[in-house]
Each structure stands twice: as C-alpha cells, then as structure tokens.
Structure 1
Amino acid sequence: MISANNVALSYGKRVIFKDVNIKFIPGNCYGLIGANGAGKSTFLKILAGEIEADRGEISVGPGERIAVLRQDHFAFDEETVFNTVIMGHKRLYQLMMEREAIYAKPEFTEEDGLRSGELEAEFSEMNGYEAESEAAVLLNGLGIPEELRYKTMKELEGGDKVRVLLAQALFGNPEILLLDEPTNHLDLKSIAWLDDFLSRFQNTLIVVSHDRHFLNQVCTHVADIDFGKITVYVGNYDFWYQASQLTLKQKQDENRKVTDKANELKEFIQRFSSNASKAKQATSRKKLLDKLTLEEMPVSSRKYPFVVFKPERPCGDIILEITGLSKTVDGVEVLKNLDLIVNKGDKIAFVGGDSLAKTTLFQILDGELKPDAGTVRWGVTITHSYFPKENSAYFDNDYNLIEWLCQFPPCDGESFARGFLGRMLFSGDDATKKTRVLSGGERVRCMLSRMMLKGANTLILDEPTNHLDLESITALNNGLIAFPEVILFAAHDHEFVSTVANRIVEFTPGGIIDRVMSFEDYLDDPRVTAERAALSQGRGELDL
C-alpha cells in the first residue's frame, strides 16, 4: 500500500495540485489520467521518491518494494539485457553479484563458506534460482528475442531498450508498481501480453497511459488529476468518462435551474416592487433571491482540439491500385510484390510487426520514395494528405506558428491562422511560439492542422496518436470516424484501430492478409490465424 497525505506542489504561481489525500490499495490498478501538463508523471515521481513535494508526505507499507519504469534509456548501457532486468530487484541483484564474487575466488576460506551459506539462504528465500527464467518469460512476452538477451543495452535499438526497462519494472513481483506510459513502443501483440500480465498482478499498480483500450483492460480505478486535485473513481476508463460527464452535466443542470429561478424572481421583483399590494411578496422574493447561489464551475485543464477533415470533393470510382510493389531499404527487402486495390469507403488499418514496411509503403504512396519495382496508380479524382511518423523536417526552421501555418493554402493571413490555431489549442501567445521549441504533441497538432487545410479525400496517417494526450486522441479518433472518404493508416492504439478501420491489411513474412472486417472480428477469426501461420512458414504468429 502507498498513500499521499496533504501533498501539494506548485511551479511558481501555478498550482499543480494541493492538499492531495489518496490511498492506493493492494489488488487494485489505478489509472492516473489528466491533460498534458496536469502533473501525472510528476505525481508518479513524488510517489517513487524521485522528487519532493512542496508539502505533505508519502507513506509506504513496511518492507514494501517500489518498482518504477525507468525513463532514462541510457542508464544501463554497459549492462547486459539479462542483468538490466534483474537489477529491477536491487537486493536480489546485489546477492547475485556477491555470490558470483565469492565463487570466483581461487581460494575459498572458512569465512567465505559461512558467508556463502547466508547468501544462499537469502537468495533462495527471494526465489533467486528462478530469476533468469522469470526474466526470460518477461522478455519473451515483450518481444525481445533470445539472441538479444546477452547483448549490452547500448547495442539495442531504442524501442527494444524501452521493452527491457519495462521487463525490469515488472521483475520480481514488486509490492508497488509505478508505470509511466508502458505501452509506448510496444506493438499490439506485446500490449495484449502486458494487458494479461497486469490483469493478474495482485499488488498495487499505478499506471499513466494515453491508451484507452489498455486502461479499460487493466484498471479497477481511475485517479483523475483535474481542477488542482485528484479524484478517484471506481471502474475503468469508460466508466470514469461516463461518470465524470454525468457529474458535469448534473452541475450544469443545477446551475441552469438556479439561474432560471433567479431570473424569475428578478422579473417579479422588478414588476411589483413599487406596487403597494405586492410589495410584501416582492420583499419576500428578494430574500429568496439573496439565498440562491450558483455553484462555482471550476475550469478544467482538459482541452479538446477541433479535428474535422472536410474533403473538397468525393472520391471517384478508382481510388488506388498498387501492383507488384517492391522496395529494399538498407539491404533489407521490406516490400515484395505487393498488390492492393483500395476501394471507395475503405478505412484500412495496416497492421503487423514490421513498422518499416508500413512507413515505406506510405512514403511511396506520398511520393517521398520511389519503389524498386511495381506501380502505384492514383485515381484522377483523388487528392491525398500524408501524416508522417517522423515530422522533425517540417519544423526545422525559424518560423513562428502563424508563419508556419501560412505556408499551406488556403491559410490566408494572420487572422485566419490565429483562428485555426486557436481551435487546435494554440491560443493567445502560443500562436507565436517558434516551431523549434514545440513539444511532440504540439507538433502532431500542427501536422493535423496542415492536413485539415488541404481538404484531401484520402488520408494517409502513420502512427498519428504518438505524443498525443487522451483528449487529442479522442478528438482525432472522432474526426476520422466521421470522415466520409478513404483512410489508410497504421496505429498501435487498439481502440483507435477498432473504431476507425473497416478493413485490415496485415504484413506477414510471406505476404499480406487482406480482410474487409472490423479489427475485433479480425483478431477472433480462426481463418486469419491459419492463413498467418501458413504465410509465416513455421516462423510463428506475427506481432499485430
């Protein structure tokens, strides 16, 4: 168990939260949610003891170990993958190192013998003999192949490092587990494995995530940071959303009733205050009016951008025809003889473990890359707009946001740009920010603004939910659901794929699987599983 007692934190004049009193109970999973900048990651760091609050204290159950998903991807560069995972249990790792040092001595003294006996007893009590097998299970579930497990961390790609650090946090069954965005850099299969693992976790779990499906799968409670406080709701993310919206509506309805009553009383008082026969009644109503109070509606830190894609013209009968498409990148054949016909109304989710194949296909469709072989034929009525996974090249300039947006027609002058940027949550001075200082989420909102201005009837999006908060993901999700034309996209957000896609194209080592069906039906279809196994030629089921 871990609890916060009268915890408060401010940055200058800005209050992040004040007088927070909250208790996290074993056996529960708490989803910590809030807008960007609300203090989610900061509160986790306070719980972990990494930073101090301005006031209050954190209490942890006696002897309980806190494990944290590390954000420093270079802290363990000189360690092997296996050692990095086991270092998640600091005391166990110390025992392992001391055991190895004693057994490596050329001469074994009596003192060494006594010490080794003590070490073995404690090591056994901590299930140390199962440490490597437990680490292997975690790494396997998170998609780290056996050949990487004895390499040093500095030899791994960034995404694989994140997976190893997640395995480190999960290792050794900690009493308190704190996870900040654990699904980042995970494919859908690894996320499903993590869902199952955390659903069976019996201790105290607190997780920050922007993945709605993940929060629905694992959370028993939601701790909402808003209005300068933390409110706990029983239930998962969907329940929190419904409950919070209901609470807000009830407050609004109550205030509306009070306002209507006040207006009614004011009208009576104004009409009859000078009427002798009604003067007493008017005085009585004035007393009632004085007693009416509107409940103050606090300002939420949550903001939803206005994401609406309006095609300038509908798609014709021919959308896109891909024939025999092949492409090799850095000596690796990522696309081989790809054939695909896109039809009217298609909203295609491209899935599969090979993200390079999806990105390469999108770059070819946008004209950024040329294929080694094959053809891409767009219909004459088609205009497409592309959201790239990597967008830094678009912001490598000295523009402010108004100047940046005005590069893209039909943006016409500062007034138009300010109005458009305001709807995308860049109001006031934010509209004059320099593009070089934008956060990842702000860059994504800029790229979505660029796409909306184009008025295309075919949208190509490569991982558009990366870096966005839940509110922006929800707005984008709803915008794509409402879009009447064609969408080609890749995403690791389960809820996003499930609610947008009506057709699934999966990349496998032996070719593609193409089905016109929802994502949920696709995952449950045994024919898809059989076809995937056949295409993979015994190499196992491919990550989704």
Structure 2
Amino acid sequence: MATCGEYIKSEFPSIDEDLYQYVEGILASGADDFEDSNELYDAIGEVLHEVAENKSEIEIRNICERLLGIMKPDKALPSGPAKVLSTPVHLGSMAASLETNVEEIKSIWVMSRDDALKVDAKKLEKAEARLQQKQEKRSQDLANSRAPVAPRLESATASQVTSKKEAKMEDKGSNRAQDIRIENFDVAYGNRVLLTAADLTLAFGRRYGLVGRNGLGKTTLLRMISSAQLRIPSHISVLHVEQEVVGDDTPALQSVLQCDTVRENLLQRERHLQSQINSGCSDPSLGTELSEVYVQLQNIEADRAPARASIILNGLGFSSEMQQRPTKQFSGGWRMRLALARALFSRPDLLLLDEPTNMLDVKAIIWLENYLQNWPTTLLVVSHDRHFLDTVPTDILHLHTQRIDSYRGNYENFEKTKAEKLKNQQREFEAQQQHRAHVQEFIDRFRYNANRASSVQSKIKMLEKLPELKAVEKEVEVVLKFPEADPLSPPILQLNEVSFSYEQGVTIFSGVNLGATLESRICIVGDNGAGKTTLLKIIMGLLTPTRGVRHAHRNLKFGYFSQHHVDQLDMSVSSVELLQAAHPGKPVEEYRRQLGSFGVTGDLALQTVASLSGGQKSRVAFAKMCMGAPNFLVLDEPTNHLDIESIEALGKAINKYTGGVVLVSHDERLIRMVCRELWVCGSGSVRSIEGGFDEYRRIVERELEVQAK
C-alpha cells in the first residue's frame, strides 16, 4: 500500500494531507472492493479532481487504472491499442443502399465490437453476490465490535463544507476576517442528528443569544466550536466557560491576572532583566531591552490590569478579602464564577457562555447584564433567563428542526417576529393549498375533454412548477404537572425567633419569625452565602436551629429539589430504573406515567440518564421528588438546566399545585410568575419585604451604584 501512496504523492505533490489520508484510507480497504478502474474512479476521482490543477478526466482515469494495477499486479489487464476504422465511411450513401450494404454496416457497428467488453451476466451475478456477502460480514463484525459490555456515552461529531477560497487564505495565513461564518455544517450526537446543512454567521462585535428547546444541541454546538470540530479562522481566539478553575494556592485575583499571558510574559521578562542588572551585569543591551519592555507594558496599560480584574471579581460577588484567598478554598460554584471572571478579563475574540446566570445570585446577574452590554468583541451565549436575553443580546439564534434561524433584536423582538413569520408562513401555505385544490378540480373535470387538452396540460405543468410549501410545525407544548396534595389544617409551618450558627461561631441569621401555609408561594432571594440553602434545611427539619423553635404539622411531607439534585442522579441507569430503585414495588406503567407528567416520554424514559440533556435530567429529578406524594415543595434553584418553555411550564405547574411552595431562585421571570411573598436573606437576618421583586431589584441596583462609586 506504500507503493500506492508514493504514486499518489508523485502525481499530486501538492495534495492536502487530510485528502491524502482520505484517499489512502479508501485504497487501504483492499483491491477486492473494486472490480475495475471505473469503480475506483467513482470512489476517489472527485477528490483527485479537487487537488489536480491541470489534469483532465482521461488522465485521472488512467491514474485510477494505474493504482488498480499496483493493487492487483497479477490481474492487471493490459490496455491494447485503440481500434480505428481503416478507411472513412460515408454513412449517407450506405443508408441509401441499405439492402445491399447490410453486411458492411454490420462489419462496422456490430462485428468490430470486442467481446471482452461485453458484460458477462453470470460473472456480474457472482460479483454482486460476493459484494453482498462481504457487506454482511462487515456489518456483523462492526456490530460485534460495538456490542456494549457496559453503558457508555455517545460522543458528538461534526462536519462542514469549507470553501476553496477560505481554505487557501487559511493556508497562506492571509485570512484576517473578524466575522465568523460556519456554512453547511452537520452536528450529530451518536445516531441522532442535531443539525443538518445549517449555517451560522457571527458578526464581530455583536452579542448573540442561542435559544431552543432542551436536548436540541445548544451546548453541543458550543463545544463543537470551542474544540475546533467546527472550523473557524485560526487567528480568532475562542474561550468557552465550561469548566471550573482548578483549586491551588494561587490567590483569586492573581488567577484572573494570569489570563493575560502577554502581560505576564512581559512582567516576567522585566523581573529577569532587573535581577541581571542588580547583580552587576554591565551589558548595555540589558538597559535598552528593559526600556522596550516598559514601553510595551505601558502600551497595554499593564498597571490598570489589577484594578480591572478586581472590578470584575467584585461584580461577581468576590469581596476584597475573598480576592486574596487561594482558589482551593472556594467551592465549585465560586470556582465557576472565577472561570467567568477570567474569561471576562481576557476578552477573547469569541466568548462562549453556557448558562452563565446559573451560578450567580440576582445582584451578580444584574451586574453581568450591565457589563456585557459593553462587550467589545463577539459573544455567543446560551441562556434561559428571559430578562437576561432581553437585556444583553443584539441578535437571537433560534435552534429548531435541525437548523438555526437568525433574528435581529432581543428575545422580546424575537418572539414577536417569529410569531408573525409563522403566521405568514401558515397563511401562504393555506392559500397555496386552496389554489392547488382549485386547479386540480379543473384538471379532474376536463382531463378527458379533447377541446380542453392544451389547457389541462398547461395547468398540470403549472402545478409541477409551484414551490412546495410546508405547513407550520407547531412545537409541542411543555407541560409539567405536580401531583395533588392532601389538605392539612393550619398551622402548617412556623419559625419563631429562629437563629442559626455554625460550630465556628459564625452566625448566619438570627431572630427569624416567619410562617407558611399550603397556599404559600414564597420566594427566597439574597446574595450567595447569605444563608438561603441553610434556611431551607431548617424549614425541612434537616438542620436544628441554634435558638428558637420550628413548628411543623405532623403530616407535613416535603419534596426537596436540591440545586445539586441533577448531579446526584445515577447516570448509568434509565429514568424508569432510577425511579424503581428509589421507590420499588410499583408497576412500570406508574413510573412511566410519573415521568410523563414531567415531559420524559417514549424512548427518553428508557435512555440512560447520562445521555439526557441538562433540562431532561431536571425533569427526571422532579419526577423522582414527586414519587413520595409531598404536600409541600422546597425548590432550590430549580431552573438551572431548564429551557425557557420549561421554566414557563414550571411556573404554571407551581401555580396549579395544591400544596405549599418555598422557592430559592434567581430567575426573574419565574419569581414574577409565582411569588406571593418575598423573603430576603442578608445582613444576618431574614425578612419579608413589601413591594415584591420590583422593590428588591431597586434595592440591589442602589447597592451596585454605591459599589461603583
């Protein structure tokens, strides 16, 4: 096979390495796959034409014949001399005397044909049978090699078409475009196609919000871009905030500053030169080089970098004291904030954010919204936060039915434009259907009328030329349904003069006097670390107050959705098996009915939990929580992995639920939908405030203004 490779290299010295590997891979499958050079030409001819600058089709076919000869040296057919007529033939005169010259015509058109070129039907049948057996054997071997011995995750794959012009510019290093165009690309996850023949254009300096239902591939698309499986110009820097910062002894502020590698390298060079000069080295070039380093540091405003990094950290909730702490002392949520701070500080050409508000409290979300409105480069963000999508993006990208549609404006404009677009599309479809029916009626009526034959034919041709319009596919409405709760007579839940302190003596809150009923829809807000989750655990009786008393109805049954609930699911089993393990002894139909109440239907219920999207895992967690028939729901950040439609459905489900609800959330849309009472954690206390979320937002914005000053 090395001989084939050498021959290809000699004929096409400028062939691209990827194309060469592709051609060699086809040839490596074996000579038995090709009966003749025509089959080999069908397999690789198009690729060879792409890389050949001045070779004709005949030359490419000759190369394919030569390759087949190398692969089948013992069966290579000698190509004999071409057969030509010995004298010119005048076909007109021969046709005039057809009866007398029949044998002569035969001698030209029939008798001269080489029998070797005729298809042997028996050989063809045998060849097809051999090919069929070979394909069946390969399929069987492939199936055996893929037989899973343990559940394993499918991986995502992507392919795209790159124009020759862009490829040449990339090779020459002359591509300096700031806009990003990914054209005609496909993305699949295992056997499931997520995107097909899709196009994505990101103009430099614009901010794009990527929206779509759970499980359609939004997060996968971001990973395909960041991992370079979808190619973009190589000079464009990409940063995807996906993994938390690794904990070590580096202070948080220094961890952010280290992202600016140019500044770090210059400072390191400055220290090295300074130490050489201080050690007595008299080389005059050191002073010159040190002066150049100082100029470069001044040009990039290196002295302002610590202040800029501190502002970003402060906005994301890091106090001055926290900024000096080693990163290893922070929890996973705070390390994710640190990863976001590093991304905002480094300012890549393309910043990819996946649900950035998940790890933030309301104050940090408001700060981030304001900060990103002045983002200088290109931003692509996946978010479920309606207010965030109304505030930050300049464009919305809608992922649906394996394609991406682009809309100018924020989410509110997108909803209006999309509704109008679908209405017009449906109107055009219905009008065309009526027109088709009217024309078809005319055709059916006069099909056999000789006088109308020409009219009927023109009508038939007109119908054939009409573009095929499709009816609007309505997205299935997301429905979540909590089970009916058993009624209880009050009092239900009461906290009297409750205080809580950890063993280290740190008081979280004190003097809390609050109560809840089965009609309660209480939302708890406050900064991260203010004690929201601690308060929930006291409400459920999982923590005992340091002081004060918690009163709860004896028949009160809590359903608890933890913010880490999704991460704690067994990923190796199906959703049905997960519910069976948690609540054994029930019919399978009951588990499936429970999952169906939260939108996990059909094959989804039988897939491994690991293969589900984040939003689908959340629905499984809801279904598991409700198997115990609770009459009071305690929900800690339930929207973290849900899409906009699912959050809307969650709000409706909470409002219809007949039990009580205490909710910790930063999602403004959900809070406004369900909140009847707002509890604010902060400054060592928990208080109920009048005016609802509007009043709380005003308080937060005033605090941010004070911080900015």
State TM-score, norm by structure 1.
0.81
Q: Aligned ranges for residues 343-358 of structure 1 at < 5 Å?
A: 345-355=519-529, 357-358=531-532
Q: Amino acid of the residue matched to residue 496 of structure 2?
A: T
Structure number with higher strand proportion: 1
Q: How far does residue 30 in structure 1 lie from its aligned partner after superposition? A: 1.1
Query: d(CA) in 2 for partners of 1:334 and 1:420?
Result: 38
CA pair 231-514 structure 1, distance change in 2 beyond 3 A: same
User: Is this contact kept in 1: 2:481–2:597, CA < 8 A?
Assistant: no
Unaligned runs of 5+ in 1: 534-539
Q: Which moved more, 1:31-40 or 1:374-383?
A: 374-383
Q: How far does residue 363 in structure 1 lie from its aligned partner after superposition? A: 2.4
How large is the Cα RMSD of the aligned pairs? 4.1
Q: How far does residue 194 in structure 1 lie from its aligned partner after superposition? A: 0.9
Q: Sequence identity of aligned pairs in percent?
A: 27
Question: CA offsets per residue over residues 126-176 of structure 1, 9 Å max, x none?
Answer: 111111111111111111122233443333322222222222112255554
CA pair 489-411 structure 1, distance change in 2 beyond 3 A: farther
Q: Aligned ranges for residues 61-80 of structure 1 at < 5 Å?
A: 66=237, 68-75=239-246, 77=248, 79-80=250-251
CA pair 76-448 structure 1, distance change in 2 beyond 3 A: closer
CA pair 420-186 structure 1, distance change in 2 beyond 3 A: same
Selected match of 1:28 from 206, 212, 215: 206
Q: Which has the higher contact order (CA 8 A, sep 6+)?
A: 1
Selected match of 2:373 from 193, 199, 208: 199
Aligned to 1:536: none
Question: CA offsets per residue over residues 479-501 of structure 1, 9 Å max, x none?
Answer: 22444653210012222223321
Q: Amino acid of the residue matched to residue 30 of structure 1?
A: Y
Q: How far does residue 236 in structure 1 lie from its aligned partner after superposition? A: 0.8
Unaligned runs of 5+ in 2: 1-177
Q: Aligned ranges for residues 133-212 of structure 1 at < 5 Å?
A: 133-171=307-345, 173-212=347-386
Q: Aligned ranges for residues 449-468 of structure 1 at < 5 Å?
A: 449-451=623-625, 456-468=630-642
Selected match of 2:218 from 25, 36, 40: 40
Corresponding position: 1:91 with 2:266: no
Q: How far does residue 15 in structure 1 lie from its aligned partner after superposition? A: 3.9
User: Is this contact kept in 2: 1:74–1:154, CA < 8 A?
Assistant: no
CA pair 428-198 structure 1, distance change in 2 beyond 3 A: same
Query: d(CA) in 1 for partners of 2:447 and 2:269?
Result: 94
User: Is this contact kept in 2: 1:305–1:423, CA < 8 A?
Assistant: no
Structure number with higher helix proportion: 2
State TM-score, norm by structure 2.
0.64
Aligned to 1:470: 644
Q: Which moved more, 1:248-257 or 1:84-93?
A: 248-257
User: Is this contact kept in 2: 1:503–1:517, CA < 8 A?
Assistant: no
Q: Which moved more, 1:362-371 or 1:160-169?
A: 362-371
Q: How far does residue 450 in structure 1 lie from its aligned partner after superposition? A: 3.8
Q: How far does residue 406 in structure 1 lie from its aligned partner after superposition? A: 5.2
Query: d(CA) in 1 for partners of 2:247 and 2:331?
Result: 13
Query: d(CA) in 1 for partners of 2:572 and 2:377?
Result: 50
Q: Amino acid of the residue matched to residue 183 of structure 2?
A: N
CA pair 456-265 structure 1, distance change in 2 beyond 3 A: farther
User: Is this contact kept in 2: 1:76–1:84, CA < 8 A?
Assistant: no
User: Is this contact kept in 2: 1:502–1:519, CA < 8 A?
Assistant: no
SS at match of 2:357: coil
Query: d(CA) in 2 for partners of 1:308 and 1:81?
Result: 43
User: Is this contact kept in 2: 1:505–1:515, CA < 8 A?
Assistant: yes
Aligned to 2:575: 401
Selected match of 2:562 from 345, 363, 388: 388
SS at match of 2:514: strand
CA pair 416-245 structure 1, distance change in 2 beyond 3 A: farther
Q: Aligned ranges for residues 461-540 of structure 1 at < 5 Å?
A: 461-483=635-657, 486-524=660-698
SS at match of 2:208: strand
Aligned to 2:298: 124
User: Is this contact kept in 2: 1:67–1:88, CA < 8 A?
Assistant: no
Aligned length in residues: 523
Q: How far does residue 235 in structure 1 lie from its aligned partner after superposition? A: 0.9
CA pair 89-327 structure 1, distance change in 2 beyond 3 A: same
User: Is this contact kept in 1: 2:486–2:631, CA < 8 A?
Assistant: yes
Q: Amino acid of the residue matched to residue 207 of structure 2?
A: C
Q: How far does residue 447 in structure 1 lie from its aligned partner after superposition? A: 2.5
SS at match of 1:340: strand
CA pair 240-458 structure 1, distance change in 2 beyond 3 A: same
Q: How far does residue 461 in structure 1 lie from its aligned partner after superposition? A: 0.9
Corresponding position: 1:223 with 2:401: no
Query: d(CA) in 2 for partners of 1:390 and 1:82?
Result: 27
Q: How far does residue 249 in structure 1 lie from its aligned partner after superposition? A: 3.9
Corresponding position: 1:17 with 2:195: yes
